[in-house]
């Protein structure tokens, strides 16, 4: 059986755990605990190690879905999880205080520890409709980065699957 790997990363509250839960064909292994960093985010639980699920694909393959913790104090695990990944899905919370700064931080971080495909999913778009999605496209263009960017609802399997399929499609284009 061929085992592939995709990593989901982004700030606390961006939807990593929910994305993996929506997509996984097996029960998700999660390391969520009570959030003690309420200044960073008001959510009740937060990931402190990693989340893990699997997407079973036709044939003799599956994709391991790895979610990083969103708190900076756990960033030492990010390069470990990124090793051997087909791609990185960066999730950004559109309703955050400065989502473009979050995007810049995660792109810079992963460009330093991972040399491969990245795709961006923007969650919580409905919670901040006055902020236009163009702010992300403009930022990426200013940085001369041509990364796929999608608004997504992490609760919808087809939205999360689009992010994974984008990474897989970029692999097929290289062949």
What is the per-residue pLDDT for 45? 52
Collapsing DSSP to helix, strand or coil, 50 comes out as: coil
**Adjacent-strand bridge partners of 89:** 8, 119
Higher pLDDT, 131 or 66: 66
**pLDDT over 50 (residue 168):** yes
- For residues 123-145, give the mean pLDDT: 92
Single out the residue of 85, 12, 90, 23 nearest to residue 53, CA to CA. 23
What is the per-residue pLDDT for 106? 95
- The distance in angstroms from the start CA to the end CA of the chain is 21
**What structural domains and CATH numbers belong to the chain?**
2-174 (3.40.50.300)
Kindly tell me the sign of the dihedral angle through the C-alpha atoms of 121, 124, 126, 131: negative
Contact yes or no for 46/33 (Cβ under 8 A): yes
What is the per-residue pLDDT for 71? 72
**Confidence band for 35, pLDDT divided at 50, 70 and 90:** very low
Q: Average pLDDT, whole number, for the chain?
A: 85
Note the pLDDT tens digit of each residue in 60-118.
789 999 999 877 767 778 888 899 999 999 999 999 999 999 999 999 999 988 888 99
Q: In Å, what is the CA distance from 11 to each residue of 41, 57, 69, 108, 170? A: 10, 28, 8, 14, 25
Q: How far apart are CA 40 and CA 86, in angstroms?
A: 30
What is the per-residue pLDDT for 40? 54
Q: Which two tokens stand for residue 38?
A: 């309420």
* Among the ranges given (34-38, 95-99, 132-136, 145-149), the one the predictor scored with the smallest mean pLDDT: 34-38
**Confidence band for 49, pLDDT divided at 50, 70 and 90:** low
**pLDDT over 80 (residue 14):** yes
pTM of the entire predicted model: 0.86
């Amino acid at each position: 059986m061929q085992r592939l790997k995709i990593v989901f990363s982004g700030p606390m509250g961006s939807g990593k755990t929910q994305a993996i839960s929506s997509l996984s064909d097996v029960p998700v292994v999660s390391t969520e605990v009570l959030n003690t960093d309420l200044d960073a985010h008001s959510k009740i639980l937060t990931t402190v190690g990693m989340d893990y699920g699997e997407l079973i694909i036709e044939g003799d393959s599956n994709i391991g879905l790895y979610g990083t913790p969103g708190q900076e104090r756990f960033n030492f695990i990010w390069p470990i999880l990124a090793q051997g990944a087909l791609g990185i899905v960066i999730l950004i919370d559109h309703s955050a205080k400065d989502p473009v700064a979050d995007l810049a931080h995660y792109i810079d971080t992963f460009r330093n520890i991972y040399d491969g495909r990245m795709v961006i999913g923007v969650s919580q778009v409905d919670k901040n409709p006055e902020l236009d999605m163009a702010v992300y496209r403009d930022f990426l263009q200013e940085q001369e980065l041509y990364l796929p960017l999608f608004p997504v609802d992490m609760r919808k399997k087809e939205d999360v699957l689009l992010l994974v399929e984008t990474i897989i499609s970029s692999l097929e284009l290289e062949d």
